[in-house]
């Protein structure tokens, strides 16, 4: 696709930089470089912790780590972006320690031990291309890259087949939930470890099974545009946890294990059994969103990629009105994109900021990006970052 000044260039591999920075910081060469991708979820939002369905793709943007094992139990973590350095013993990793990005990285080593693996100390240099706070899952990319490095360097064999990768994803979720204290559902870690190039990952969060759904927009003259609103999003603040608690509450009132058990066709009579308007709205989003994932997958399998746009729009409306996780920047990105040629658009990820995605005919990409920028400028918002993405590959060893 020709690059337009409106669209950011795809990322370059920072492999050599991160290895070189490792040598400078630690005074010896790393044993290798590993990476894992950020993600956008095509559809199926806030369904993962409801045992539902979601459909992420891995991004070309990845987080790279250069790493070397240590003979002792020390953990030394450096980041090229923040310049921040952590040094602590594996025994000292616990709930809330370390804080910040170090908790996600150190948490993986902690969670590997909890899962019964024998773990040693590690020196790690991080260079991430997945922007922080953009709702593109920089934390799962970091966890996946550290998990991949630890697996190889400690002979744990957790990158071999999909079953092993699913086990590593669960370990990364434990790190994020327990050490970093973000009560997230697991989609992001599965995306970082289990997505395949050119495919969307249909993840059934009830039993962890997956299907790889071919997803090649360029073949049909379309582009997936990410619109990073730069409105900072965080899963560790209370809103995400509140939505999760509302869903749990709805399931309890209905006497089911999760909202996945509520059939789409039974939704209306089921809602009557819920105590209040808010809980009904939250449940409505989850149940209809799971159905939209099914419809999206059916359209993709039928080669009707352009028709997915309408489901994007319906999903966004559901998140804005029923689940109430959108914000002014996300709504404006979605409105401007659809008003200027996008076939559909929706916020992606946890919400309350972060990124939206739009399905756009290739020849309208510059126009859509420009319209989104202008709409932001007119509202006095910081300029968004718009870039096209394709479905990338999972966590891997790079060198």
Q: Catalytic amino acids?
A: 188
Q: How many other C-beta atoms are found inside a 10 Å radius of the C-beta of residue 123?
A: 22
Separation between Cα atoms, residue 168 and residue 89, nearest integer Å:
22
Q: Site size for ligand GLA, by CB under 6 A?
A: 14
Separation between Cα atoms, residue 99 and residue 80, nearest integer Å:
17
Is 187 a binding residue for ligand GLA by CB under 6 A? The answer is yes
Residue 262: name the closest of 245, 244, 235, 284 by CA: 284
Is 45 a binding residue for ligand GLA by CB under 6 A? The answer is yes
Q: Which of the ranges 184-192, 195-203, 261-269, 360-368 carries the binding residues for ligand GLA, by CB under 6 A? A: 184-192
Is 48 a binding residue for ligand GLA by CB under 6 A? The answer is yes
Q: Reading across the β-sheet that carries 344-348, which strands appear in turn?
A: 344-348, 355-361, 222-228, 385-389
Antiparallel, parallel or unpaired: β 56-69 and 344-348 = unpaired
From residue 279, alpha-carbon distances to 67, 73, 247, 254 in Å are 46, 47, 7, 11
> Could you give the 3-state DSSP secondary structure of residue 87?
strand
Q: Among residue numbers 119 through 158, which ones bind ligand GLA (CB under 6 A)? A: 137
Q: How many other C-beta atoms are found inside a 10 Å radius of the C-beta of residue 294?
A: 15
Is 260 a binding residue for ligand GLA by CB under 6 A? The answer is no
Separation between Cα atoms, residue 105 and residue 146, nearest integer Å:
6
Among 38, 52, 185, 392, binds ligand GLA (CB under 6 A): 185
Q: Which of the ranges 44-52, 77-85, 205-213, 302-310 carries the binding residues for ligand GLA, by CB under 6 A? A: 44-52
Q: Among residue numbers 365 through 394, which ones bind ligand GLA (CB under 6 A)? A: none
Is 349 a binding residue for ligand GLA by CB under 6 A? The answer is yes
Q: Which of the ranges 38-46, 157-165, 253-261, 269-277 carries the binding residues for ligand GLA, by CB under 6 A? A: 38-46
Q: Could you tell me the two tokens for 152?
A: 């190889």
CB-nearer residue toward ligand GLA: 188 or 329: 188
Among 123, 188, 228, 322, binds ligand GLA (CB under 6 A): 188
**H-only helix segments in 29-129:** 101-114
Among 37, 38, 102, 186, binds ligand GLA (CB under 6 A): 186
Smallest separation, CB 83 to ligand GLA (Å)? 26
Is 289 a binding residue for ligand GLA by CB under 6 A? The answer is no
Smallest separation, CB 184 to ligand GLA (Å)? 3
Smallest separation, CB 186 to ligand GLA (Å)? 6
Separation between Cα atoms, residue 300 and residue 307, nearest integer Å:
9
Q: Which of the ranges 82-90, 141-149, 179-187, 360-368 carries the binding residues for ligand GLA, by CB under 6 A? A: 179-187
> Could you give the 3-state DSSP secondary structure of residue 306?
helix
Residue 365: name the closest of 227, 258, 264 by CA: 227
Among 61, 174, 184, 258, binds ligand GLA (CB under 6 A): 184
Q: What are the residues binding ligand GLA (CB under 6 A)?
A: 41, 45-46, 48-49, 137, 184-188, 235, 349-350
């Amino acid at each position: 696709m020709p690059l337009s000044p409106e669209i950011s260039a795809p990322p370059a591999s920072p492999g050599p930089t991160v290895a070189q920075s490792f040598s400078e910081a630690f005074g010896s060469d790393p044993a290798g470089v590993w990476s894992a991708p950020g993600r956008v979820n095509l559809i199926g939002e806030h369904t993962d912790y409801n045992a539902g369905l979601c459909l992420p793709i891995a991004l070309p943007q990845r987080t790279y780590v250069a790493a070397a094992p240590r003979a002792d139990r020390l953990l030394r973590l450096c980041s090229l972006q923040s310049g921040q350095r952590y040094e602590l013993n594996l025994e000292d990793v616990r709930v809330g320690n370390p804080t910040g990005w170090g908790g996600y990285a150190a948490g993986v080593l902690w969670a590997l031990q909890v899962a019964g693996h024998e773990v040693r100390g590690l020196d790690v240099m991080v260079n991430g291309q997945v922007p922080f706070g953009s709702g593109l899952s920089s934390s799962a990319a970091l966890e996946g890259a550290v998990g991949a490095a630890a697996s190889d360097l400690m002979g744990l064999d957790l990158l071999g087949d999909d079953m092993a990768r699913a086990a590593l994803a669960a370990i990364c979720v434990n790190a994020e939930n327990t050490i970093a204290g973000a009560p997230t559902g697991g989609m992001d870690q599965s995306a970082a470890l289990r997505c395949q190039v050119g495919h969307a990952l249909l993840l059934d969060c009830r039993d962890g099974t997956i299907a790889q759904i071919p997803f090649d927009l360029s073949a049909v003259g379309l582009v997936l545009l990410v619109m990073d609103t730069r409105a900072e999003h965080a899963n560790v603040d209370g809103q995400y946890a509140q939505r999760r608690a509302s869903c749990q509450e709805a399931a309890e009132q209905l006497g089911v294990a999760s909202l996945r058990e509520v059939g789409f066709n039974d939704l209306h009579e089921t809602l009557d059994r819920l105590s209040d308007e808010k809980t009904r709205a939250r449940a409505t989003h989850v149940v209809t969103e799971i159905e939209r994932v099914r419809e999206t997958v059916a359209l993709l399998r039928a080669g009707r990629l352009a028709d997915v746009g309408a489901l994007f729009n319906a999903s966004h409306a559901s998140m804005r009105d029923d689940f109430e996780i959108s914000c002014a920047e996300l709504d404006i990105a979605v409105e401007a994109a659809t008003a200027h040629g996008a076939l559909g658009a929706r916020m992606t990820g946890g919400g309350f900021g972060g990124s939206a995605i739009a399905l756009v005919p290739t020849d309208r990409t510059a126009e859509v990006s420009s319209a989104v920028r202008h709409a932001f400028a007119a509202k006095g918002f910081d300029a968004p970052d718009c870039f096209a993405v394709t479905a990338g590959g999972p966590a891997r060893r790079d060198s």
